[in-house]
Amino acid sequence: MFYSEGLCLSVMFYSEGLPLSAMFYSEGLRLSVKFYSEGLRLSAMFYSEGLRLSAMFYSEGLRLSAMFYSEGLRLSVMFYSEGLRHSAMFYSEGLRLSVMFYSEGLRLSAMFYSEGLCLSVMFYSEGLPLSAMFYSEGLRLSAMFYSEGLRLSAMFYSEGLRLSVMFYSEGLRLSAMFYSEGLRLSVMFYSEGLRLSAMFYSEGLCLSVMFYSEGLPLSAMFYSEGLRLSAMFYSEGLRLSVMFYSEGLRLSMMFYSEGLRLSAMFYSEGLRLSVMFYSEGLPLSAMFYSEGLRLSVMFYSEGLPLSAMFYSEGLPLSAMFYSEGLPSARCSTLKDSSGVFLLEGLAQRDLGSTLDSPQVMCLI
């Protein structure tokens, strides 16, 4: 279903082959996208209004849920995965950064908080068992940790605004390095137990997060600088890759999944929206393009096989479709509002007639 009125564009489609359902809505600078696929059990909702971007997706394959929210300089990221039993929330507002994550595999809970030059870190792990609290304000550094004996080594260093922390544990084979200089914060840790590597980097309003886990295996990178947000993650379990890019009013999203063999790219700049996806499962290819009052839609399916192009500038609509399965027919403009159905009836009535080739060409 396609609907265009003024600057308002709505697109909803459903395919029983995948099965995939999607709804696209654009009004002025506001863009909403929601789709659902039972094959991967993946649900996603994207919302953009002005400089505000929200994204939520859920996949039961990895049991992964994630929510991204960006408003001005404020960025929040929350995800949950039952595979690692890992939950994490990232929050950045101006120079303030908060990170909280929980993992039942290591039984590890941690909270990082940074506001200006003040850094607080608290985590607890039942596996080690280890409890630690780090606090830094200006030139003041306090550190307390407790370990019942899993061969843990730790080094803390503070000089002016510079803080470095390195510890190593042979029990979980865990290594971590924290470095802070002025407003710059870097965190890198590696664990062979879950085979998890992560690097956090913050400099002013610039935040980068990259982690890799061979358990899933999942790779992800988040980058935020001013109003610019980029996120990329890759998972070999579902063979899913997603890249999000937002700069001002410009939003691009590309994802690829070998499970359904589905590729999609979304691009939005001002009032311009382009959507292209391809699925070898159907196989179906489609491209949606909207600029101002102009809407173009083209899709091709080898299964039918059906090719169609819809074009709208203002309120008039032109449509052309081609199908090798039906006999050929040519139709001029139909004034009836039910012209599409009358067109189908005309094609069906010509099934028994002797035509040049088994094709249908219809132009409204």
Q: Which residue type occupies 183? A: L
| Cis-peptide into 316, omega within 30 deg | no
Residues 6+ apart with CB under 8 A from 10: 1, 2, 3, 4, 23, 24, 25, 26
Two tokens at 134? 């780090």
DSSP-assigned states of every residue in 108-146 = EEEEEEEETTEEEEEEEETTTTEEEEEEEETTEEEEEEE
Two tokens at 70? 């960006």
**Digitized pLDDT (tens) for each residue of the chain, 364 residues in all:** 344 444 344 444 444 443 344 444 444 434 444 444 444 334 444 444 443 444 444 444 433 444 444 444 334 444 444 443 344 444 444 433 444 444 444 333 444 444 443 444 444 444 433 444 444 444 334 444 444 443 334 444 444 433 444 444 444 334 444 444 443 444 444 444 433 344 444 444 334 444 444 443 334 444 444 434 444 444 444 333 444 444 443 344 444 444 433 444 444 444 344 444 444 443 444 444 444 434 444 444 444 444 444 444 443 444 444 444 443 333 333 333 333 333 333 343 333 333 343 333 333 3
Two tokens at 171? 């029990």
CA atoms lying within 13 Å on the CB side of residue 345? 6
Point out which residues pair with 262 in neighbouring strands: 257, 279
Two tokens at 99? 């990170």
The whole-angstrom separation of Cα 186 and Cα 102 is 20
Q: Could you write out the three-class secondary structure of 295-336? A: EEEEEEECCCCEEEEEEEECCCEEEEEEECCCCCCCCCCCCC
pTM of the model: 0.21
